[in-house]
Structure 1
Amino acid sequence: MKYSEQLPPQIELNVFIIPTKEEQMIIDSIDIPHTCRNEPKCAQCDGKHHSLDSQCQVLKEYKDQLKEDVEVAIQKGLLQRISPQEKSPLFERRGHDFPPLTASDNHSNKKWNTALPRTTIESNNLRASYTDKTIESIDDNLATLIDSNKRLENKVDLVSSNMKTVILDIQLHHAVLADTINIMKDVMQYVMTASLTASRAERSSLVHVANEYYNRLHIASSRLINGYQFNQLNHQVQLMSTSLITNTVQTDQQSVSIYKSTENAKDEAMPQLEIWNFSTKDQKLVLSLLDEWYSDITLNAVVEQWENAGIAPSKNQKEYIKILCYNVEEIGELWNTCRLPHFNTFYQKRTNKNGGVCIAVGKHLKATRIEVNIPNTVVIDVAGLSEPILIIGIYWPTSQQRDLDEILPYVVDGTILSGDFNATVKKWNSPITDRRGAHVKEWINESNLDYIPSTPDSSKRSLRNIDLSFSNMSTISSETLFFGTSDH
């Protein structure tokens, strides 16, 4: 058979179905006329009754078999019987359940979900309450916004302060580095080359040139250290000011309040400075900075004022420097067993079995040891004065061969050379000039050093003066102290 089905435009589908034998018989019987007798016929047993009629024997057998299978399943626990639930009680209307409405309670004419008209007073109160809540909400939002902006400004100020400190440090380092490189170039060109090619007598003329370069390097070092400390102090003051302002911020539904007077800032700053263990001098400095901070309106004005402020000239106080050259017996055995109060001690072990060389510098001065590979020699650089001082302490045993030129590179402007030379020079308060004394005197003259006069007879065992001190500084005097167990 051929069937044609109407599909969307331009699409036609032809379906061919080949019927089976039974289907063909049904198709052939379609044309046979049917006469209905109006008699029921069971589909189960072909009896003259309906298919679901209780008199159908096939249906009875099916029900009996189903009942038997259910009983077996219940016994095996595969099925469970459902107990009938109790029936809900029937509704019984009682007389007081629905009392009649009075005339005043009869709202049948009112429409649902319709607001009653309000009076003028109620409307005004409601409108005022809504306005107050709106204003309160706006105030809270403004307080939060102000707090957020203030914290953001503090962070921006902190970042700006850090960046400015870093920039100042970089500029300082660049300037000092460039100056140091130029100094080293000049040293290599004018000092090192000449010292390698000149004779010993000519090298002595280079001492003052080397001293000048040493002073320039010392100034560059001081400039770097002082500049860095000043930048750090300035940065700490700015951080502390920012911290003080931040502590005044109140966020509990109030706007941010900043100090309105310098006195309030000082009152808040003083306890914190004491907690941080600031010295009295530093506290005064911070308070003066706070005065300047609150005297201007903007941060740029304060920074500009600080940038324009120069470093105040320091007040120099003249004070005599006291240096004691003292020969102590067995210092090598005892130097580390006790400490001199208020002194920093620098020691080098002696080449023989008795003692060594030791220099003690008061702690009010900044002393730095210069490492040298020279026996029986200690070199100390002392800072904190109007000009740097270099102290060289030596011991020259009678049995030691020593080249004094080894310490010549350390003889700069402001040098003091002192120690036990075991050498006598008649001009230096000794009876005679021995061979070592003549050598020392010649070297002292070539090194542009001056003998510091002292009283004669520094040795208790003879009339020799073997504890000698020299310097290229003016206005220096010395004396011999007659006490102790030392032999000189």
Structure 2
Amino acid sequence: MQFMHSAIYRDLEENLVSNEIQITIAFADRIKRIHYSYQRRTDDYRFYVKDYSEYNTVLQLGLIAIGHSWLSITKFYPGNRLTYCTKCWCLGHLRNKCNSENKCRICLENVRVDTLHVCKNEPKCAQCDGNHHSLDNQCQVIKEYKDQLKEDVEDAIQKGLLQRLSLQEKSPMFEFRDQDFPPLTTKKAFESINDNLAKLIGSNKRLENKVDLLSTSTKTVTLDTQLHQAVLADIINIMKDFVQYFIPATLTSGKSERISLVPVANEYYSRFHFGSSRLINGFQLNHQVQLIPTSHNNNIIKTDQHRTLSRTSNLDVLAKAFFPALHNYLLNPRDEAMHRLKTWNFSTKDQKLVLSLLDEWYSGRTLNTVLEEWEQVGIASLRNQKEYIKILCYNVEGWGTRAVEAIDLAHEVQVSVCIFTEVGELWSTCRLPHFNKFYQKGTNKNGGVCIAVGKHLKATRIEVNIPNTVIIDITGLSEPVRIIGIYWPTSQQRDLDEIQPFVIEDTILSGDFNGTVKEWNSPITDRRGASVREWINENNLNYITSTTNTSKRFLRNIDLSFSNMSTISSETLCSGTSDH
């Protein structure tokens, strides 16, 4: 595809110019008017010519008829690219060589990952401190830099140090084969769709039942834990009073005075017995509540509490003392716990870990002392620990038909983050357990991107109004990570510079680009792949090498991932019914 350029009178409308060019040049495409920052008598239009022979014919003629006038038409030479930093927005270097902090592109204030930046929308130039953008053409420094750059480039071309790209030959025509797109039989297709929907509905019901059962079990464990904590707090207070008041009195009093301590001992027994009854009845209540509808829970709890109080009020304070069986206390709690771990075939590493925790628990003077010690150990270990997360990028080709498959794949691989492309409008019909989802619609009903982040991670969405693009910041790790998921349909024209301001340190860019590069596990480099490669190099991102191509229909690698992080790897999974 070759570029051409033509000068048009300003009184002609853009639609008229575009139609006239397409009538004269059959293979003309992407006709756009060139915008200048200063007034001109004529408008320049740039367009592409797909056919090589027609390009040469029009170029040899040198004229084109538009609006009853013959207008000149010439080759289009792109302008020289400026070398500037996207970190400090100064000329002469790139961001990988910059020692400055990240700055806002408009107001030049420092931008930090952990702090929300609110731009003042007051432009400031990084070159001359003027009241305009740093790369604005009205800046005198920019003008001088462009003039000097143009002189240097022309001098290098004359000396033979640089060469302009030569035109390529005509690309081969697309060959349509019947086996690539076989016709569908309507009846069988509908039957297959109905069967798949029935299987999907059944699978969703089974999955919801499992999730409800797991939620019920979790609630029971939570109630049991709260009950344990409450009873344990009461027992500790009773033991404190018993050791502080009753035992000293029995050691210092005489035989006749000890008889008067019997009611006090019975009172302590009643308090211990009440704690035991409360624990037993509470366990039974927690497990009964989960089997009864939620609307009756409050009444049951109140009734059972009333029963418990009535039973404890009828206790005889002079009842015969109760002593538990001795065979239950042959081992101390520490040795008994270790004996059970060995019986359950726990590994030696886990046994040592539990033993150290038990030693700290029984050696601590107070509960607060033990908890403070454990908190300090947790903070120190987290500071020295590096987390490794798995990220899944999958083109589902419609969430409504492959939701269960995507969920099973995410849990099978045990990923922390999922990037789903081409999800369609039914992305919310089936939930992904234990994940928070962030969605951005596409340019048509089949597009759209969804990023799912595990609930064990803290994720914050960066609000952008770009179709088929989701940007997420993940914090709480050893280093914050930014993840950008995109879907680039074959028929969509998009400018990657829209996401350039959001590419910061520790950024991962992944998605379905529908472009191929020969060096990236594809047989050829197409036009979109070349533009993606050029943009990646300009923004100092590295291609994450995959193990094989991602397209199942052709030997092409169109699902690509890039990052400016080190120690990151990729693997292509050959599973699923999608053609990616």
TM range (shorter): 0.3 to 0.5
User: Higher relative contact order by CA 8 Å / sep ≥ 6: 1 or 2?
Assistant: 1
TM-score by length of 1: 0.41
Give the greater-gyration-radius structure (CA).
1
TM-score by length of 2: 0.35
